[in-house]
């Protein structure tokens, strides 16, 4: 796939990715699941590089779900250590490439050293403007929506908000993704056909792209193929084709 061909058509502003298949990839190679997670970091680098090259402005990775805490302790510990190691190694490169790091989710559930390094990395990259890289960590869309509803209910209870003032924009501003546009494209690897409690509100009108490739095999060319698929779709937002053509 030639990336120059892509830039002559609409590039999605925000791409969200469910990185799936690390464990299966490792098993195929006779290794443990942690080996797959380690190799999956290279795919993150490849996709970030590809997104930068074609002009994507927001890139969100589903890195660790709230449900993932239920995995075997040794795998969870290894994932947290990998997060810390990656943060330590990548900040200089993020700054070099104009990448602003962001994180969403129930971050207080992360180990204290991971919380500290994450906050530090976010602070060190906050002035970058070329692309915003968001990591969804200890993330659950149901948790996010429930918390937003609670915040709004509390404001109504305190008298600072009227029920008739509640609209989609106000609700969106109570989500962890406030200030970030909704994704136009969701990519999921490994052949699974579900969104696994990820950005349920924000993906309302996103295009979905599913691939059988396992995440460690997903590279720049794979990303370009997903973008090319997005570019040939008609996004109607409830309208009919003739209305879209006349806009």
* DSSP string for 8-56: TSPPPSEEEEE---HHHHHHHTT--HHHHHHHHHHHHHHHHHHHHHHT-
**Cα–Cα distance measured from residue 93 to residue 131, given in angstroms and rounded to the nearest whole number:** 13
Whether the pLDDT of residue 42 is over 60: the answer is yes
Find the mean pLDDT for residues 3-24: 92
Find the mean pLDDT for residues 90-118: 95
Q: Does residue 42 fall inside a structural domain?
A: yes
Q: Locate 1 and state its tokens.
A: 């796939």
Whether the pLDDT of residue 1 is over 90: the answer is no
**CATH number (domain holding residue 95):** 3.40.1180.10
Find the mean pLDDT for residues 5-14: 89
Q: Does residue 208 fall inside a structural domain?
A: yes
- pLDDT tier for residue 240 given thresholds of 50, 70 and 90: low
Number of domains composing the chain: 1
Q: Does residue 224 fall inside a structural domain?
A: yes
Q: Does residue 221 fall inside a structural domain?
A: yes
- Tens digit of each residue's pLDDT (9 = 90 or more) over 76-98: 999 999 998 999 899 999 999 99
Q: Does residue 165 fall inside a structural domain?
A: no
- pLDDT tier for residue 4 given thresholds of 50, 70 and 90: confident
Whether the pLDDT of residue 193 is over 70: the answer is yes
Whether the pLDDT of residue 242 is over 80: the answer is no
Buried b (16+ CB within 10 A) or exposed e, 58-70: bbbbbbbbbeeee
Domain that holds residue 130: 12-139+183-246
Average pLDDT of the chain, as a whole number: 94
Q: Does residue 202 fall inside a structural domain?
A: yes
The reported pTM is 0.93
- Of 13, 46, 68, 217, catalytic: 68
Q: Does the annotation count 123 as an active-site position? A: no
Find the mean pLDDT for residues 99-105: 97
Q: Does residue 54 fall inside a structural domain?
A: yes
Find the mean pLDDT for residues 154-183: 97
Q: Does the annotation count 147 as an active-site position? A: no
Q: Does residue 236 fall inside a structural domain?
A: yes
């Amino acid at each position: 796939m030639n990336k120059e061909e892509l830039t002559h058509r609409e590039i999605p502003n925000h791409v969200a990715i469910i990185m799936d298949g690390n464990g299966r990839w490792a098993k195929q190679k006779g290794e443990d699941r942690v080996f797959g997670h380690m190799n999956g970091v290279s795919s993150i680098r490849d996709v970030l590089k590809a997104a930068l090259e074609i002009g994507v402005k927001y890139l969100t990775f589903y890195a660790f779900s709230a449900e993932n805490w239920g995995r075997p302790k040794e795998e969870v510990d290894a994932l947290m250590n990998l997060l810390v190691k990656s943060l330590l190694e990548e900040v200089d490169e993020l700054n070099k490439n104009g990448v602003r790091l962001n994180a969403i989710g129930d971050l207080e559930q992360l180990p204290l050293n991971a919380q500290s390094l994450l906050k530090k990395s976010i602070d060190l990259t906050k002035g970058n403007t070329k692309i915003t890289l968001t990591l969804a960590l200890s993330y659950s869309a149901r948790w996010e929506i429930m918390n937003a509803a609670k915040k709004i209910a509390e404001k109504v209870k305190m008298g600072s908000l009227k029920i008739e003032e509640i609209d989609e924009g106000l609700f969106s501003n109570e989500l962890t993704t406030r200030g970030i546009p909704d994704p136009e494209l969701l990519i999921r690897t490994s052949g699974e056909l579900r969104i696994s409690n990820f950005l349920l509100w924000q993906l309302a009108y996103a295009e979905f792209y599913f691939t059988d490739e396992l995440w460690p095999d997903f590279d720049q060319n794979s990303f370009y193929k997903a973008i090319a698929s997005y570019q040939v779709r008609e996004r109607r937002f409830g309208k009919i084709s003739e209305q879209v053509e006349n806009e």
